[in-house]
Chain A
Amino acid sequence: MRVEFKIEGGLAYFPGLSKPRVIDSADLPAAEADRLHRLVDAAGIFEQPAGGRALPKGAADYRQYTITVEDGRRRRTIRLADPIANPDLEALVEYLRTRTAPGDEPASKDE
């Protein structure tokens, strides 16, 4: 399973934080790969409508997250904006954000 993750928006634009990031479960230790699969399943990525919701009216400086999941022949891209009310989606975004943060060593345990 290959996941592309991109964060956009926020209070300022930081070039270093805005690049797309990729996580491939084939490159992860078995337990990590399993965790990624479980988070994606729980978030129901392939059941979400493709694309994104309408942006909140009058809102500003919120972040948007673009997640593309490729699993075998299935591929789905979703976009989310702050706040992420769905706790399963929030858990997935949090995982992707922390595991792919630039400048980090790969984490070996939960924070």
Chain B
Amino acid sequence: MCHQTTHRHSIFCILPPHILQQIAINGDAQERAAAVHTLAADQTFRSLRTELLLAGAPAPSPSVLLAAEGEKHRTIYDARHQQMLPGVVVRTEGAQPTQDLATNEAYDGLGATFDFYWEIYQRNSIDDQGLPLNATVHFGRNYDNAFWNGDRMVFGDGDGRLFNRFTISLDVIGHELTHGVTQDEAQLTYSNQPGALNESISDVFGSLIKQLTLNQTADQADWLIGAGLLAQGVNGVALRSMKAPGTAYDDPVLGKDPQPAHMRDFERTFEDNGGVHINSGIPNHAFYLAAVKIGGFAWEKAGRIWYDTLRDTHVRPSTGFRSFARLTLINAGRLFGNGSAEQQAVREAWHEVGVAVPAIVPATKSKTR
């Protein structure tokens, strides 16, 4: 069996995923480790597909050698309260739930996120090429956070005093994975306005994933990020509110939710990479307003506009609020017609949060990646 290498000829000795999974379960220790590493980290599916496409080959069939479209490949790791990544494998794709709640919540949350992007936007995993989804749970000691490290999601257990376990919140899981989508599409720089947009996009799609799972319309949704994360006794309901930025918590230890809902309250700061988790309140609120104005399920129209804008080649690493807003108008016009109710809803939403957009947008097409 071939171990993962970067040599292109390793493509010809790849074992298909279902065989690797059998080895991961039934092999000896060395075989299991190698199989799991291959499944979890294998970039060669992606490079094979790219090579075939560049060579002008016909579209790959959902065959033995390639991950079929829309197929999940999840691996959950346990860091056992250390900070070494990735940790030990505790659950692979298709395996039964384990005894560990965080493991199963991460597994389910990765699945729900994958299913959302596939069913609603026909996006095949984070990179739209079937990227395996990996998460590490039980990171660190009483670690009060979760993050995306560029390759995987990492979850702490919380300290039980301020925060519960970070796998408890589906929108947080969706938020983290969406950083991977943004990294793949727009690479919005993680500071100042582009960073606040980056953060907002993660909140938007994190919330939509929760809304789809709960089958909620824009009116029914709570538009809270991380509801259930704050421990009992903390004076707050969530990390953030898209519906009412600045109201999620007001606690003697945590302080008061600093998010603005309008550009007049934009926070100029060196903290938080230039306030990326603070000023995300403004584009968050714009999305909420557009979704509620349009009505129905928010992922269908407002979410589609935002998703297409994220993929718009005009969104660059340095794109700020005004440029992004203008592109949402252009994409709304492209999708639903210039002057449509949907485009008008988006226009009003940005106006209400104080982001200036041009009165007329060009009727030209925008290009997606």
Which residues of A have CB within 8 Å of B278?
13
CB-CB < 8 A to B139: which residues of A? 83
User: Are B83 and A60 within 8 A (Cβ)?
Assistant: no
User: Is B239 touching A85 in the complex (CB atoms < 8 A)?
Assistant: no
Cβ-defined contact, B84 with A85, below 8 A: yes
* B-chain residues with CB within 8 Å of residue A8 when the two chains form the complex: 271-273
Q: Are the C-beta atoms of A12 and B252 separated by less than 8 Å?
A: no
User: Within 8 Å CB of A60, what residues of B?
Assistant: 147-148, 176, 179, 190, 198-199, 202
| Chain B: CB-nearest residue to A19 | B255
CA of A55 to CA of B147, assembled, Å: 13
Distance in angstroms from A102 CB to nearest chain B CB is 5
Which chain B residues in 122-157 approach chain A with CB under 8 Å? 139-142, 144-150, 154
Residues of B within 8 A of A62 (CB): 145, 147-149
Q: Does B51 contact A (CB under 8 A)?
A: no
Given known pairs A59-B147, A61-B148, the reply for A16 and B277 (CB within 8 Å) is no
CA distance A9 to B35 in the complex (A): 35
The reply on A11 being an interface residue by CB < 8 A is: yes
A42 in the interface (beta carbon within 8 A): no
Instruction: Enumerate chain A residues within 8 angstroms of B150, measured Cβ to Cβ.
Output: 56-59
Task: Give A33 to B278 CA distance when docked, in angstroms.
Answer: 37
Encode A1-41 as 1/0 by CB contact (under 8 A) with B. Answer: 00000001111111111100000000000000000000000
Interface string of A74-94 (1 = CB under 8 A from B): 000000001111010010001
**A-chain residues with CB within 8 Å of residue B187 when the two chains form the complex:** 58
CB distance from B277 to the nearest CB of A (A): 4
Is B147 a contact partner of A11 (Cβ separation < 8 A)?
yes
Chain B residue, CB-CB nearest to A57: B150
> Is B254 on the interface with A (CB-CB < 8 A)?
yes
Q: How far is the CA of A55 from the CA of B190 in the complex (A)?
A: 10
A15 touches B256 (CB 8 A): yes
Flag if B146 contacts A11 (CB, 8 Å).
yes
B258 to chain A, nearest CB (A): 6
Query: Is A106 located at the chain interface by the 8 A CB criterion?
Result: no
- Would B145 and A83 count as touching, CB distance under 8 A? no
Asked if B253 CB lies within 8 Å of chain A CBs, one says yes
| Minimal beta-carbon separation of A77 from chain B (angstroms) | 15
> Using Cβ atoms and an 8 Å threshold, which residues of chain B touch A63?
145, 147
A contact residues around B73 at 8 Å (CB) = none
Which residues in B have some Cβ–Cβ distance to A below 8 Å? 82-85, 139-142, 144-150, 154, 166, 172, 175-176, 179-180, 183, 187, 190, 198-199, 202, 226, 239-240, 251-256, 258, 271-273, 275, 277-278
Q: Which 8 A-B pairs have the closest CB atoms?
A: A15-B255, A16-B255, A103-B253, A58-B183, A58-B150, A61-B147, A12-B239, A60-B179
22 of the cross-chain contacts (CB-CB < 8 Å) are A10-B144, A10-B145, A11-B147, A12-B226, A12-B240, A15-B258, A56-B150, A58-B150, A58-B179, A59-B149, A59-B150, A59-B179, A60-B147, A60-B198, A61-B146, A61-B148, A61-B176, A62-B148, A63-B145, A85-B84, A98-B142, A102-B253
A residues neighboring B (CB under 8 Å):
8-18, 55-63, 82-85, 87, 90, 94, 98, 102-103, 111
